């Protein structure tokens, strides 16, 4: 059997020690979240912060060729609200260079039990240090709702703070085990981003879904030391409270897809075909579907370097 050797994805021994253990992978399967070991050095995190400041000052290495319909794109004219900026891995090489660290993909691959991880989206987030700022509150949601055009249920997100991130800062908070809940008959409104929805409706939705599953809502704030990151499954409910720390909360939500993920047509009850922002950006497959493996927008972050060229998928990393 011939091997496709992809040396850029080989990990050093030190990096392999930072992968989740078997028990960690089991725990992620049970709880739907995982707090990583220290995947970035202090220097790397400081570089992320500096690169984000240059991004906010207007630095770009390239611009999106068209503006997709639901793009999150803060600019200074929006003022001191919570900032969300999508596609930073595409537009800004300084941020991309750090985000493309193969170790992050290898950790995600172990958790998702897959042998390839591609970038799906990256959103640079900033919560200004204003305790009463209403836009700083992230209502309960799970990410798969926004990714209804994706075939995969293994997608996941690395939440990467640029500093120690605890409760005072309004850190991301997981609803333990909620990725295993069955969903009450969903309606189309779930495909709309939380920023466009009433927080109260989403609170009720969480409570109703918990009751439907006979489950308790156990909220686990992720206390994340600098250089560590938290991972969550695409069906894990999560949200975050206001920033009461007096300092800005700076993070990137790095959304990841497994190698098998592909576009699927998702029709809303109105008959409208749902579109994700990628659908107007990425190249098309021969059959006309958007290609969620377009290396321009969805590059491979990590692939098992021992993966055989014939496409069989050994699980070991
Ligand atoms: O910014 C937050 O606290 C939540 C971010 C989020 O929803 C995500 O990473 O999927
Ligand atoms: Fe989210």
CATH number for 184:
2.60.120.620
As to burial, measured by CB atoms within 10 angstroms (0-12 exposed, 13-18 middle, 19+ buried), residue 187 is exposed
Whether residue 316 lies inside any domain: the answer is: no
Alpha-carbon distance of 309 to 304, in angstroms, equals: 11
Whether residue 39 lies inside any domain: the answer is: yes
Residue at token pair 């999106």: 64
Say how many Å lie between the CA of residue 243 and the centre of ligand 1: 13
Can you tell me which atom of ligand 1 is nearest the CA of 240?
Answer: 3
**305, 10 in Cβ contact below 8 A?**
yes
Whether residue 314 lies inside any domain: the answer is: no
Report CA torsion sign: 229, 154, 31, 238. positive
**Helix %, strand %, coil % for the chain, to 5?**
30, 20, 50
Range of the domain at 40: 7-63+73-303
Question: What is the mean pLDDT, run by run of 10 residues, along the chain of 317 residues?
Answer: 69 97 98 98 98 98 97 97 98 98 98 98 98 96 96 98 98 98 84 85 92 96 98 98 98 98 95 96 97 98 80 50
Whether residue 199 lies inside any domain: the answer is: yes
Closest listed ligand to the CA of 160 = 1
Whether residue 190 lies inside any domain: the answer is: yes
Q: What is the pLDDT of residue 190?
A: 80
Neighbours of 18 (CB within 10 A): 16
Alpha-carbon distance of 202 to 216, in angstroms, equals: 16
Can you tell me which atom of ligand 1 is nearest the CA of 173?
Answer: 3
pTM: 0.95
Say how many Å lie between the CA of residue 223 and the centre of ligand 1: 14
Say how many Å lie between the CA of residue 100 and the centre of ligand 1: 19
Give the residues surrounding ligand 1 with Cβ less than 6 Å away.
Answer: 125, 138, 143, 157, 159, 172, 238, 240, 253
Residue at token pair 């798969």: 144
Total tally of structural domains belonging to the chain: 1
CA angle in degrees (0–180, nearest 5) for 113-173-121: 55
Alpha-carbon distance of 239 to 200, in angstroms, equals: 13
Whether residue 164 lies inside any domain: the answer is: yes
Residue at token pair 């939380």: 194
Neighbours of 224 (CB within 10 A): 22
Per DSSP, 293 falls in state: T
Whether residue 284 lies inside any domain: the answer is: yes
Q: Which of 146, 157, 171, 219 gets mutated to test ligand 1 (max ligand atoms within 8 A of its CB)? A: 157
The Cβ-side half-sphere exposure at 67, using a 13 Å CA radius, reads: 5
Q: 303: helix, coil or strand?
A: strand
Q: What is the pLDDT of residue 316?
A: 45
The residues placing their C-beta within 5 Å of ligand 2, an ion, are: 143
Whether residue 68 lies inside any domain: the answer is: no
Return phi, psi of residue 105, to 5°: -65, -35
Strand partners, 119: 256
């Amino acid at each position: 059997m011939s091997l496709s050797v992809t040396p850029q994805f080989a990990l050093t021994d030190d990096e392999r020690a930072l992968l989740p253990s078997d028990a960690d992978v089991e725990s992620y399967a049970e709880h739907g979240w995982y707090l990583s070991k220290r995947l970035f050095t202090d220097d790397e995190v400081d570089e992320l912060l500096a690169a984000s400041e240059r991004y906010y000052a207007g630095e770009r290495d390239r611009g999106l060729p068209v503006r997709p319909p639901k793009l999150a794109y803060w600019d200074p004219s929006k003022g001191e609200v919570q900032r969300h900026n999508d596609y930073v891995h595409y537009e800004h090489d300084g941020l991309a260079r750090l985000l493309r660290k193969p170790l992050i993909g290898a950790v995600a691959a172990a958790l998702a039990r897959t042998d390839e991880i591609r970038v799906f989206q990256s959103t640079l987030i900033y919560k200004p240090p204003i305790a009463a700022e209403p836009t700083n509150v992230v209502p309960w949601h799970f990410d798969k709702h926004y990714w209804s055009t994706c075939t995969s249920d293994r997608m996941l997100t690395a939440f990467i703070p640029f500093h120690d991130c605890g409760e005072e800062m309004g850190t991301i908070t997981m609803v333990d085990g909620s990725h295993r809940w069955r969903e009450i008959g969903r309606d189309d409104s779930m495909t709309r981003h939380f920023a466009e929805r009433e927080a109260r409706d989403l609170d009720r939705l969480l409570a109703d879904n918990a009751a439907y599953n006979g489950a308790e809502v156990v909220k686990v704030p992720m206390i994340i030391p600098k250089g560590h990151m938290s991972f969550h499954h695409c069906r894990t409910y999560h949200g975050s409270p206001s920033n009461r720390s007096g300092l800005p909360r700076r993070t990137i939500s790095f959304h990841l897809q497994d190698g098998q993920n592909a576009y699927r047509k998702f029709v809303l009850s109105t008959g409208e075909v749902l579109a994700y922002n990628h659908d107007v950006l990425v190249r098309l497959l021969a059959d006309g579907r958007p290609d969620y493996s377009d290396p321009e927008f969805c590059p491979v972050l990590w692939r098992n370097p021992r993966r055989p060229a014939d496409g069989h998928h050994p699980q070991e990393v």
